[in-house]
Amino acid sequence: MIKISGISKKFKLYNKPIDRLKEIILRKKYHHIYNALHDISFEVKDGETLGILGVNGAGKSTLLKIISGVLIPDSGSLSIDGKITGLLELGTGFNKDLTGLQNIVGNGLLIGMSTEEIDQQRDNIIDFSELGEFIKEPLRTYSSGMVMRLAFSIAMHAKPDCFLIDEALSVGDAHFQQKCMRHIKTFKQQGGSLIFVSHDLNAVKMICDHAIVLDKGHIVAKGSPEYAVNHYNRIMAQLDDQDKRITATENQTNNQDYGNHKAKIINAVISGVDSESNIVSSGEKIDIQIEIMPYEMLTDMSIGILIRDRFGQDIYGTNSEHLMQTSVFEKEQPYIATFSFVAAINPGKYTVTIALHSQNTHIEDCYHWVDNIIGFEVAGFKGTQFVGVCDLNASLIVNNALNNSYGVFNK
Amino acid sequence: MKNSLIMYLVKQDLIDSYSGSILGGLWSFIIPLVNITVFIVIFSKIMGAKLNVLGVDFQEYSYSIYLVSGVLAWNYFSNTLVRITNIFNEKAGLITKVNTNLLVLPLYIIISESVIFFISMSFFLLFLLIIGFPVTKYWMVLIIIYFLQSIFAYGLGLFLATLSVFIKDISEFTRVIVQLWFWFTPLVYVMDILPEKYKIIFELNPMYHIVNAYRDVIVRSQLPDMYSLSLFFIFSMFLFLCAVYFFRKLEKDIRDFI
């Protein structure tokens, strides 16, 4: 169990190292204060996982360092039952000239294992790392992935009561990541407390029981992972309103933009109904609002969107023609078109291409076409999970084949 | 911080830092051996007969014995001091990642340097036995002198280490001071060559009393001056407590600043 109450931390910032000396001798203030954390309180019970979200500089690392005892808070108290190990100290003290086996001892001792524990866990660590015969080779012969695997394996077997995980989990291949995830889940089931810091919103939703959002050293949201993630997305959206809700006008220089400009896309905004930003959950309703300005009267104009994934693959596209929503556009009258749909697609980054053209294809008469005008990200699931590109909304019925008439094994 | 971690750091310092080389940890033995051999061979041949300063005349080795008995103790002290001064900067990678007891951390340097010192002293003892130099029961007292000297090095080192987190120059400054200190301590020369009026200044140097105590035991086969050793002990303890107090005051800032 981890209990944090009222922790605050300030850093004194000096322009030059000598200022610090001057301050001591001349007793004059030469620093300015940076408030890294302000009155932070929370509790993580045994078997619980707390997620910490926050943009860079929000105070996440400072908080973790205070919990792990590397930094001392200015005020407030923290109580931690039992041993605490952090994945933030991954590979601390690794010596590349020593073999994997020797480094297990060194790193293990540094992260708080006893010699006996290291002896007990050695075989498990080697197994988990999947390094095989390489464990007897010096670390400098390892690939960076192998070094990380070894570091992880040691940390995973340190048997702490509380575990701090910082971002780190994003390294390693998918197979190894999943293995770590399984190990973490077992750790939770055995009653260990976990603090998980990540930008991977999907992982936060999957692992955590609660989450907090830090912003400029304050806790600005506290609650279910879903709630925290949405709040975090809102902060992200406000933070870089300009470059996240990309507008058509500023983007025209960067993106493929062509057509005869009989009508123009003035602006486009994408927003999740719950998250109110361009980071949404899979299964959340999304609105794409497009501002259009026709420069002639157009009777056959079709508005189309095309969603592509990060590999540039077309995921979904539709237009007014397909949706049977064609209308007449008056000359120089602004219009707003809104496409609404459920983002039943897998987590990842996507772009939206928007086009105005005659009929149902852009080939005959293209008014305006802008590639990748806006981007959005799907992070985590709301509702049922699935694998693959999109949610085909499957249902499942399982019947006992012997006792009813539907089974193929009927006698 | 556990003992096993301190011992691991010592091992890393003495053995692992030579890993990959053929002789490995043996280098930790070879370097002091070469040092002593150089002192003894060079100085016994070149300067041996010219100095008769010991009160004990022991053939051409008189000066070598005088020199080595002081220099070994000095090397232990100066290496420990210089390394402890830089310890927080050197181990920043560790301190910023793992919860380390910063007061215990310097112990690994003391232990590591003590091992080298012990090896050197063993070689020296072997040499003395070979040439038939009297080795008396007073050698037992060396352990006390060694402890006093270690407290002094730790206290002064901790004080400088705390400062050097905020003023990086302290580390280089200490190196320079240690060089000067070497020449202001009668290691290669004898006190008798100094004018009487300056002797009092030299006696304010704590290391003079330590080196002198080593020589009382090793060279002159007598008990060291207990009065000056007691003063040294009081002074070292005072310095030690001040350094710990000073460190405690600044620990939070040290951790922030590294």
Q: So what's the pLDDT on residue B50? A: 56
**Residues of the domain holding B137:** 3-257
Stronger pLDDT, A166 or A308, i.e. the higher one: A308
- Which pLDDT does position B192 carry in this prediction? 79
Specify the DSSP element, H or E, that contains A236.
helix A225-239
Query: Who among B4, B19, B167 is closest to A98 (CB)?
Result: B19
Q: Within its chain, how far is the Cα of A139 from the centroid? A: 31
Q: Which amino acid is it at A151?
A: A
Task: Check whether B197 has a pLDDT greater than 70.
Answer: yes
Please state the φ and ψ torsions of residue B182, each to the nearest 5 degrees: -55, -45
Here the tokens at position A408 are 């193929």
Exposed/middle/buried for residue A276 (C-beta within 10 Å: 0-12, 13-18, 19+): middle
Task: Kindly tell me if the per-residue pLDDT of B248 is higher than 60.
Answer: yes
**Minimum mean pLDDT range among A116-120, A290-294, A373-377, B193-197:** B193-197
Q: Which of A110, A115, A108, A94 is nearest to A157 (CA)?
A: A108
Size of interface A-B (CB pairs under 8 A): 67
Identify whether the C-beta of residue A293 lies closer than 8 Å to the C-beta of residue A262. Answer: no
CA distance A112 to chain B (A): 8
The full 3-state SS of chain B, as one line of letters, equals CCHHHHHHHHHHHHCHHHCCCCCHHHHHHHHHHHHHHHHHHHHHHHCHHHCCCCCCCCHHHHHHHHHHHHHHHHHHHHHHHHHHHCHHHHCHHHHCCCCCCCCCCCHHHHHHHHHHHHHHHHHHHHHHHHHCCCCCHHHHHHHHHHHHHHHHHHHHHHHHHHHHHHCCHHHHHHHHHHHHHHHHCCCCCCHHHCCHHHHHHHHCCHHHHHHHHHHHHHCCCCCCCHHHHHHHHHHHHHHHHHHHHHHHHHHHHHHHHC
- Per residue in A93-125, is it b (16+ CB within 10 Å) or e — as a string? bbbeebbbebbbbbbbbbbbbebeebeebbeeb
> Contact B98/A89, CB-based, under 8 Å?
yes
Residue A322 tokens read as 């397909």
Nearest to A109 among B8, B99, B256 (CB): B8
Q: Residue A97: its chain B contacts at CB < 8 A?
A: 16, 19-20
- Number of domain units in chain B: 1
- State residue A255's pLDDT score: 53
B12/A72 touch (CB, cutoff 8 Å), yes or no: no
- Quick one: pLDDT at residue A246? 42
A20/B167 touch (CB, cutoff 8 Å), yes or no: yes
| B:155-174 residues touching chain A, CB 8 A cutoff | 166-168
The residue-averaged pLDDT of A155-166 equals: 84
Chain centre distance of CA B1 = 25
The answer to whether the Cβ–Cβ distance between B4 and A111 falls below 8 Å is: no
pLDDT of residue A168: 62
> Which residues, other chains included, contact B249 with Cβ-Cβ below 8 Å and sequence gap of 6+?
none
Q: Which of A297, A296, A276 is nearest to A285 (CA)?
A: A276
Q: Judge: A21–B256 Cβ closer than 8 Å, yes or no.
A: no
Mean pLDDT of chain B: 88
| Structural element, H or E, at residue A378 | strand A366-381
> Does A115 contact B251 at a Cβ distance shorter than 8 Å?
no
pLDDT of residue A253: 41
**What residue in A sits closest to B11 (Cα-Cα)?**
A106
Residue B256: which of A69, A71, A86 has the nearest Cβ? A71
**Which has more confidence, B1 or B256?**
B256
> Is some CB atom of chain A closer than 8 A to the CB atom of B252?
yes
Q: Which amino acid is at A366?
A: C
| B135 in Cβ contact with B125 (< 8 Å) | yes
| Residue B133: exposure state from Cβ atoms within 10 A (0-12, 13-18, ≥19) | middle
Compute the nearest-CA separation of B255 from chain A (Å): 6
Question: Could you tell me the pLDDT band of residue B181, with boundaries at 50, 70 and 90?
Answer: very high
**Residue A244: which pLDDT band, with cuts at 50, 70 and 90?**
very low
Say yes or no: B15 contacts chain A, CB-CB below 8 A: no
pLDDT at A186 over 70: yes
What is the ipTM for the molecules in this complex? 0.79
Q: Please, are residues A307 and A322 in contact by the beta-carbon 8 Å criterion?
A: no
What pLDDT was estimated at residue A249? 40
Q: Is A71 on the interface with B (CB under 8 A)?
A: yes
Instruction: Quote the Cα angle for A225-A230-A234, to 5°.
Output: 145
In this predicted model, which residue has the larger pLDDT, B194 or A51? Answer: A51
Residues on chain B touching A109 (C-beta within 8 angstroms)? 2, 4-5, 8
d(CA B213, CA A79): 50
* pLDDT for residue B51: 56
- Number of residues written out for chain A: 411
Scanning A99-158 for CB atoms below 8 A from B yields 102, 105-106, 109-112, 114-115, 138
Q: Are B255 and B169 in contact (CB under 8 A)?
A: no
Beta-sheet strand order (sheet of A285-294):
A263-272, A285-294, A335-342
Note whether A112 contacts B256, CB cutoff 8 Å: no
Q: Using 50, 70 and 90 to split pLDDT, how confident is the model at A251?
A: very low
Taking residues B26-38, what's their average pLDDT? 85
